[in-house]
Structure 1
């Protein structure tokens, strides 16, 4: 079974075991042999079946982490050439198995989901085991039709899509949508050797407009899916460069075509507390040739844009650093100029005779210039005015006596 695109490694790098040793396979094992070994071990140590065994949880992580390396051709090549050091551990995140969370923790998980933080979940061990045993009920889903339903949380509805040679060559699209914006997974199962079904692909529903949707596109060219968890983690680590991380979650889909025959898909209820309502449909790309071509062109453009953004980010950060440098200098230069002008004004204002009102009164260093004819200047006009005043007063007194 495939748990997701990114899995967190167990403990520290020093404690990691060889992925080949963990899965009990050899270095020349085929992809199918590795997948088969992983399915058995992952089901054996699944948290659903080992709630009281903490060691099983760690082994489950180790098995999932090992498979995430060996199932990816590029990562497997990197590991084979340089070991764990060649892998980017920062880009790996661990899925949460909600079936093993308590009620309180489930509430917190639901809250984070409401806040827009992507919560990855594993598919219930019961569903996987029933599929491997071939005891699930499979409903037919003919090409060109759709089926609606409601699936309980941590349960799945299985559908069989039968395609002929011509339809297989044209390409097939399987899509599930929910107008109620339910959270679900779209699953694809491969036929197992014992007659059961093993989980090969899974797509988590994403909100697009007023609906949630998930799709699988088997169109003979590489189609990519957007892992919002990878984007969210990258943006959280570098909020200022969030724009440049918007395409980092672009992941190539593992299967690009289907062979003629019957293929098994399922809608898995991934809601926290309630059933998931959905509509699933199977479409032949032959009736949508124009759209198929547009998708191929757009996927190629987005892939090129991701490469361009990585290069542009380097240029942008250099320019941003330079901008910060000149901005800092601008601030310093402005402060320097303001200080010099202030100092200049202070020096200019020092050229004055009158220092202050208080010092003038104290040391008498400055004299007040009065207007002409003022009593204070001791002039003749001052004496005349004094005499006239005295004569006037005497005259009045004399008049009173008479």
Structure 2
């Protein structure tokens, strides 16, 4: 969010239950310009900032309401949706409130610092006092000529301001402003635009990052549109759909709000982002003429990324369709497999019933009552008693045998 820097999102936070018209909250009209909306937001955010209202608990809620309203009106798509259909048209999941964690008084500052020391990264906002002094134009600006470097130490939650003056030739070539800290201090590099009231409004910020044995941050302003990589773009969608992490990865490449500077003096600042100690730094401003090959390579690479992003958008559609088709045939496969298994099981049971029945029948015939079975076709009549009435069966000459004619 411009004007307040980057702030941490608290889990479970959401839009206010009772929501007022964002235009009413910021005291602007529907035909107000982006700059007018931004200026109104900055003034109200500073007015209700918890730094300045420790004894007024209502100010914190008003601060959230102002931030929520600005998050709608500063986003062209959200603004269009709201103008068309009101709050109902906005994605509730994408409207999480951004809450200031670093400047809510001594207790909360210590709380945030302890979490940071434990390894949980919490990005801080910029002190309301620093922003207000800049907006009122009451800050001390030190000159920083092109090609020079200045070293210093800045207190925590404070800022050192520098004026970089450039001419038309340097505008054409572009300039680079960078800050390094060999003591690995934590800081922010800020760029301020001239405000209508002769003050300075925050336009860009870069957080220091560790690179080898130093921490550093840099900004470059070239003679063509440059881009910045915003990792928070579509972060919610990516969290819900892991596969989107690939397809949405290049969506974070966004055109920088300020990519080219005009001739004149421009205001930069080094902000001490440490909680308990000063930040040691060296700031320098350079003409990008010496980086001519590098800037052309950057232009080429970013153009390739933009083309690749368009290709990925088209490929994602194809991939989703193929994935849906794959899921469909996979389900069909599982169903068919289950059906085949069931049919074979039924057949095996039937086959088993035949086998078991034949075995039982054979056993019954062969061994029942201890008698042996007779073959089909064998004379099964009982033996006739002899002529003498005896039935000992000794005289077998009178018996007919089917295999011998007499």
Q: Which category of TM-score, normalised to the shorter sequence, fits these structures?
A: 0.7 to 0.9
- Are 2:53 and 1:46 aligned? no
- Specify the alignment match of 2:103 in structure 1: 99
Q: Secondary structure at the match of 2:233?
A: helix
The yes-or-no answer on 1:2 pairing with 2:7 is no
Which residue pairs with 1:176 in the alignment?
A: 179
Partner of residue 21, structure 2: 17
1:56 paired with 2:59, answer yes
Matches for 1:96-245 after TM superposition, within 5 Å: 96-100=100-104, 101-108=108-115, 111=118, 113-114=120-121, 119-177=122-180, 183-193=186-196, 195-205=198-208, 213-245=216-248
SS for the counterpart of 1:228 is coil
Alignment of 1:308-319 (within 5 A): 308-319=311-322
Q: Which moved more, 1:290-299 or 1:356-365?
A: 356-365
Rounded to whole Å, the distance in 2 between the matches of 1:357 and 1:179 is 97
> Could you tell me whether the CA contact under 8 Å between 1:3 and 1:64 is conserved in 2?
no
Separation in structure 2 between the aligned mates of residue 200 and residue 126 of structure 1, nearest angstrom: 17
Shift in Å, 1:365: 8.3
Give CA deviations for 1:333-357 in whole Å, capped at 9, x if unaligned. Answer: 2233233334333433444443499
1:400 paired residue number: none
Corresponding residue for residue 251 of structure 1? 254
Structure 2 gaps of 5+ residues are 374-406
1:320 to 299, 316, 323: 323
Contact 1:226 1:251 in 2 (8 A): yes
Displacement of 1:300:
2.4
**Does 2:287 match 1:280?**
no
Mapping of 1:356-395 within 5 angstroms?
A: none
Please give the alpha-carbon distance, in whole angstroms, between the structure 2 residues aligned to 1:201 and 1:237: 29
Q: Contact 2:192/2:204 (CA < 8 Å) preserved in 1? A: yes
User: 2:386 maps to what in 1?
Assistant: none
**Structure 1: 5+ residue runs without aligned partners?**
369-402
* TM-fit CA distance, 1:179: 6.2
Alpha-carbon distance change, 236 to 304 in structure 1, aligned in 2, over 3 angstroms? same
Q: Are residues 60 and 78 of structure 1, via their aligned partners in 2, closer, same or farther at CA, if it must alter by over 3 Å?
A: same
Residue range with higher mean Cα deviation, 74-83 or 344-353 = 74-83
**Cα deviation 1:174-205 (Å, max 9, x = unaligned):** 23355666543221112345544222222334
Contact preservation (8 Å) 2:22, 2:72: no
User: Greater helix share, 1 or 2?
Assistant: 1
Paired with 1:58 and 1:330, the residues of 2 have a C-alpha distance of 56
Aligned length in residues: 362
Provide the C-alpha distance between the structure 1 equivalents of 2:87 and 2:291, rounded to a whole number of angstroms. 44
Conserved 8 A contact 2:147-2:284:
yes
Q: Do 2:15 and 2:95's aligned partners in 1 also have CA atoms closer than 8 Å? A: no
CA distance in 1, matches of 2:15, 2:255: 25
| CA spacing shift, 1:336–1:91, aligned 2, 3 Å | same
| Residues 341 and 139 (structure 1), Cα distance of their counterparts in 2 relative to 1, 3 Å cut | same
Counterpart Cα distance in 2 of 1:301 and 1:273: 43
TM-score by length of 2: 0.74
Q: With the length of structure 1 as denominator, give the TM-score of the two structures.
A: 0.75
Q: CA deviation at 1:308?
A: 2.6
Question: Contact 1:96–1:120 at 8 Å: present in 2 too?
Answer: no
Q: Deviations over 1:273-322 (max 9, x none)?
A: 55545443322222212221222222222223323323322221221121
Indicate conservation of the 8 Å contact 2:101/2:109, yes or no. no
- Aligned equivalents of 1:292, 1:51: Cα separation in 2: 47
The residue aligned with 2:381 is none
